[in-house]
Each structure stands twice: as structure tokens, then as C-alpha cells.
Amino acid sequence: MRIYLVVIDDSPESRIALRFAARRAVKTGGGVEILTILPPQEFIAFGGVQATIEDEARQQAEALVASAAGAILDESGLRPAITVREGDGPKVIRELIAANPEIAALVLGAAASGAPGTLVSHFSGTDAGALPVPIMIVPGSLTLEAIDRLS
């Protein structure tokens, strides 16, 4: 099965990328995997405090992807896979793609204005030709109607 890997955060452009990927998956008989990446936490000398901070960050990330998955299920009937990982974004993405040969494309959302995010900058620059799958960068300025027409 062709799987579209979508990286989600709390930005509006990531929701647009997710909608695009879900619509493509439905039309091509594929699936969607939603990935959220937890940045590595700074070390705090008190272990209990560190554990609490990490647990809260994970809970927030899981709530974010659960909400995104629910939106896809409601709109398209597609049940996405959910992955929450901690670490360096590009490294986590490369590892996930290497581990799953069904991933057919990486789908990222680009901000409607301002500088592109770190993942868009990385994968359209330094790692542009290094991945074994295509990279789809979905403009954050697209309307829902435009996404529906283009996907």
C-alpha cells in the first residue's frame, strides 16, 4: 500500500498538508501516517521534574495527532497510522522512511508567509536529493477548495 507520511505540529500549514495527503491517499487507494516529533528535552538536574516535563510534552503531542487523525477519519473515512517520536526531525524522518518501504512520499506544509519551517528548509535544501521517496511541499496559503481540486 502506498503510504503518505505527513509531519504534524500545531501550525495551520501542517493541517493543510494532512488534508492534501489524505485526499491523495483516498484517490490512490493508499494510506496516511501522521508523525509528530518531540524535540529532545533539555536536561534538568532533578529527575522527577525532567520526567514530568517529558510526559507533558508527549501527552500534548499525542492529543495533537489524535485530533488530526479524527479530522481525517471524519472527512475521508481514512484511518491513519500515528507515530510520536522524540529526536532530531530530519533524522527521525529518514529512519522512519528507511524502516517502512510502503512510505511513498513525505508530505510537508509550507508556511503561507515568512520563512519556511526547519523541515521544509532541510528537505528542500541539504537533503533534497537524499531521500528514497518524493517530497511534496504543500503551500499553506491553499484554500480547502484548492486542496480538493489539486489532490
Measured CA to CA, the distance from residue 71 to residue 89 in angstroms comes to 24
Contact call for residues 133 and 108 (beta carbons, < 8 A): no
pLDDT tens, 108-139? 999 988 888 889 999 888 777 889 999 999 99
Measured CA to CA, the distance from residue 32 to residue 15 in angstroms comes to 13
Whether the model pTM is above 0.85: no
Quick one: 10 exposed, middle or buried, by C-beta within 10 A (0-12, 13-18, 19+)?
exposed
Tell me the domain boundaries of the chain: 3-150
Length of the chain: 151
3-state secondary structure 3-30: EEEEECCCCHHHHHHHHHHHHHHHHHCC
Inter-CA distances, 90 with 40, 63, 69, 87, 127, Å: 13, 22, 22, 9, 9
pLDDT tens, 87-112? 899 999 999 999 999 999 999 999 98
One-letter amino acid identity for 140? G
Measured CA to CA, the distance from residue 67 to residue 40 in angstroms comes to 23
- Rounded mean pLDDT of 69-78? 72
Measured CA to CA, the distance from residue 133 to residue 3 in angstroms comes to 11
Top-tier CATH class for 3-150: alpha beta
One-letter amino acid identity for 132? P
